[in-house]
Structure formats: C-alpha cells, structure tokens
Amino acid sequence: MKNLITGIVCLTILWGSAFSIGEASQAEINRKTQQIQNIEQQIKQIEGRKAQTEQQKAAREREAAQLRTQIGQLNADINSIEARINDVGAEIQQKDTQIASTKENIVTLEQQIEEQKNNIAELVKEMYQRVAFRNDIAIALSTDTISDAFSEIEYTDGIQEKIRETLSSIMAKRDALAQEQEKLNAERGSLATAQENLRNQQIQIQTQRNQTANQVQASQNAASQLGASLNSLSSQEQQLRQQMSKFYAELVSMRSRVISSAESPLGTIIWPTNSNRCTQGYGMTRFAQSGAYGGAIHNGIDIGGNGNPVYAVANGTVVGRSSGTCPNSGYSSCGGGWGNWLAIRHGSGHVTLYAHLAGAPTVGVGQGVTQGATIGYIGNSGFSTGPHLHFGIYQSFGLTSTGNPSYGGTINPEAYYNVSCWR
C-alpha cells in the first residue's frame, strides 16, 4: 500500500509538472542543453584559470618563504660581522692602551736620558775645572800617598764611564720602545682598516637585506592579489554552477514528463530516480568507442548520483537480482560487471534493469513491485567509473549459469523520456 501511494504521488507530481509546463519541443530541449554545455565550457575555463592562478600563488608564496630564509641568513651575517667589529674594536682599544703606556715609558726614559746628560755635563765641567787648576802631579802632591792620587783619578774616570754606560742603556731602551710604538701604530692601523672594511661589508649586507625584504613584500602582495583573483574566480564559478543547476532543473522539467501508453512499450513509466543528471546516453557513445564494452554499444542510459533512491518505473515482478553484495570499488567484475543489480518484468513482457546499486536491492525475486516503489539506491558497484545508475529496457531477458543477466533486443530509453544525454 505504501509503495502504491508513493507511485501515485510520483505520478501526480510528474503529471502536474507536465500539465503546468506543457510538452517541450525538441528545439527547446536542444537549446537548453546547449546553454548547459556553454556554461560547462565556461566552468572548465574558469577551473583552468583557477589552477593556473593557484600555481602562481603557490610559486609566489614559495618565493616569499625562500626570501625570508635569505633574510634570516643575512641577519645572521650582519650579527656575525657586528661581533667581529666589536672584537676588532676591543683589540684597537688594547693597542691604544699599549701605545699610551709605551709613550709614557718613552717620556720617562727621555727624562732619564736628559738627567744623565746633565750629570755627565756636570762631571765634565768639574773635570775641566780640576784640570784647569790642578794637574795630576798636583793631585798626587795633595794626597798623602801616590796610591791615593791614582785612586782618585781612577774613581773619577770610573764614574764617568758608568754614567756613559747608564746613558747608553737608557737610550737603547728608548729606541726599543720607539720601535715597539711604531709596530703598535702599524698594527692599530691595520685593525682600524679591517674594522672599516667590516663596517662597509655590514652596510652592503644590510642594503641587500632591505632589498630582499622589499622583494618579500612584493611577493606577498602578489600572492594576496592572486588570492583575491582566486576568490573572484570561485565566485564566478559558483554563480555559473547555480545557473547551470537552474538550467538542469528546467531541462529536467522539459524531459521528465510522464510517458503515455501510446509512446512507451511499457505503458506509463516514470523516471527511475530523483537525480536528473544523465551522464551517458544510449548507443555508440565516446566511452563505448573506447572499447569499454568490447566493441558493443552502451545498451542503456547512465544517471549520475550517489545514494539517491531508485524507483521501479512501472508495475512489475522481480525476475532477477544480484546473488550477493558487491563492494563499491568500481571497475569490478562482480555481478557480471553490473555490480548490485535488479531486473523487473512488466506487463508488456519487457524487462527493466537497474545496475551498480549501493548494496543489495531492497526487494527479492518473485516479489511484485508497484510503480514508484524504492527498489535500491544509486552506488558504484561492479564495472563503474563513478557512482551512477545504469537503466536499461530489454525485449528479452534471462539469467546465465552464474546467475548474471542475459538479455536481447535493447531499447533506447532516451526516446521515451524525451532525453538527450551527454555522449
């Protein structure tokens, strides 16, 4: 009873739709189909531009990250040079201290030299005075003994010689200190030059770092602009998809009308699911031309979806179903390639097949079903490129020894649903 009510409701809705919009002409359907195709082309172009923009944005972001790494290295170099400049500065200060100490020592020695010179001068003066008034004989006569006279002469000569030696020693020390000061001045000059070179090198690296920072900012700005472009493209894509959904709904309204018994060999039938996206038509489609069906045509239509309920298109009796449950793995030979499937024979003798279901069908063999009853759900089992329902109409139908479908005399469902599926 519940299935019967569901079928009646479906029929009422579809009849109401057909009555309100009238029967659409093939030209109108073709025109709407072309509009959808145009939008799909625009979406593909936008998707291409988005992919290119995303690549450019990622490249800019990588560039900014690499430049930031370079800035980190440059900062490390600047800090290293700053430490070396400080070390050289400390050495210069040490040299300045040594030079100042050496200068002080030189001044002290020069004072000592001057004192010694004065002592010698006084001694010489005294000797000249003694020579002028007293000769050695006079000295000898003035002393008590000859030995005392000679001792006084030797003592005077000894003092004079000792003063000369002391003066020579002091002058040698002064000369050595002067040489040391000259060496220290040269070393300090080298250190000052090295320090100046380090400062110039530091300035160059700082300039390079600032330029790199500007490049980072430029890359970040470019990445932000590309991000804004991506958002704009995504917004355009969303608007186009909304428009395409609207056109799809209009197209479905045009083609999803209830078929009269005069037009359909099965009598009055309904669309087999609540999804209206026909992803592959009947016949030698491009996929069939690729050899997917061993050179045979595609003997039904594919309707895209995932988990959508599948309905019996008309009253009938279940004459076959998958014996087990095929996984939703795709490209599997399970169920003879049909995956989870169900076959219903109708009053005209024709059989409708519903394949690639998600899980086992909800009805069993021999069970009667009413139009609009839910018999399964769209899945991706068996030989399937993605979640969809394969719907076919057959003039004859049977089962192989393995329990898989065997059929003949296929009928194009597109002709009876006034559908133009993508080929």
- What confidence score (pLDDT) does residue 172 get? 82
Q: In this predicted structure, what is the pLDDT of residue 154?
A: 63
Q: What is the pLDDT of residue 403?
A: 85
pLDDT digits (tens, 9 = 90+) for 44-67: 899 899 899 999 989 989 998 999
303 DSSP β-pair partners: 278, 389
* Mean pLDDT comparison of 109-113, 222-226, 247-251, highest-scoring range: 222-226
* CATH T-level fold of 62-231: Helix Hairpins (1.10.287)
pLDDT band at 147 (very low <50, low <70, confident <90, very high): low
SS (H, E, C) 73-129: HHHHHHHHHHHHHHHHHHHHHHHHHHHHHHHHHHHHHHHHHHHHHHHHHHHHHHHHH
Q: Which of 1-5, 52-56, 70-74, 314-318 has the lowest mean pLDDT?
A: 1-5
Report the mean per-residue pLDDT for the chain: 79
Would the pLDDT of 116 be above 90? Answer: no
Q: Is 18 helix (H, G, I), strand (E, B) or coil?
A: helix
pTM of the entire predicted model: 0.45
HSE at residue 359, side-chain half, CA atoms within 13 A, is 10
At 197, which helix (H) or strand (E)? Answer: helix 146-255
Quote the Cα angle for 387-389-394, to 5°.
Answer: 150
Give the position of tokens 């300039």: 207
| Helix 2-21 with 146-255: angle, nearest 10 deg | 90
Give the phi and the psi of residue 379 in degrees, each rounded to 5.
-140, -155
Tell me the domain boundaries of the chain: 2-23+258-417, 62-231
Query: Which of residues 20 and 294 earns the better pLDDT score?
Result: 294
**How far is the C-alpha of 112 from the C-alpha of 323, rounded, in Å?**
124
The predicted pLDDT at position 79 comes to 92
Position 22 scores a pLDDT of 36
How much is the pLDDT for 293? Answer: 79
pLDDT at 23: 46
Cβ neighbours for 315, distance < 8 A, ≥ 6 positions apart: 7, 346, 347, 368, 369, 370, 371
> 301 pLDDT exceeds 90?
yes
Confidence of residue 6 (pLDDT cuts 50, 70, 90): very low
Whether pLDDT at 144 is above 60? no
Q: For 235-271, give the DSSP string.
A: HHHHHHHHHHHHHHHHHHHHH-PPPPTTT-TTSS---
What pLDDT is attached to residue 39?
85
User: What does the pLDDT average to over 193-220?
Assistant: 89
Helix 26-133 / helix 146-255 crossing angle, nearest 10 deg: 180
**What's the pLDDT score for residue 251?**
63
pLDDT tier for residue 127 given thresholds of 50, 70 and 90: low
Contact 267/261 with Cβ under 8 angstroms? yes
**Domain 2-23+258-417: homologous superfamily in CATH:** Glucose Permease (Domain IIA) (2.70.70.10)
Residue 17 has a pLDDT of 32
The span from the CA of 213 to the CA of 207, in Å, is 10
Among 6-20, 28-42, 148-162, 404-418, name the one with the lowest average pLDDT: 6-20
- What is residue 107's predicted lDDT score, i.e. its pLDDT? 84
Per-residue model confidence (pLDDT) at position 138: 54
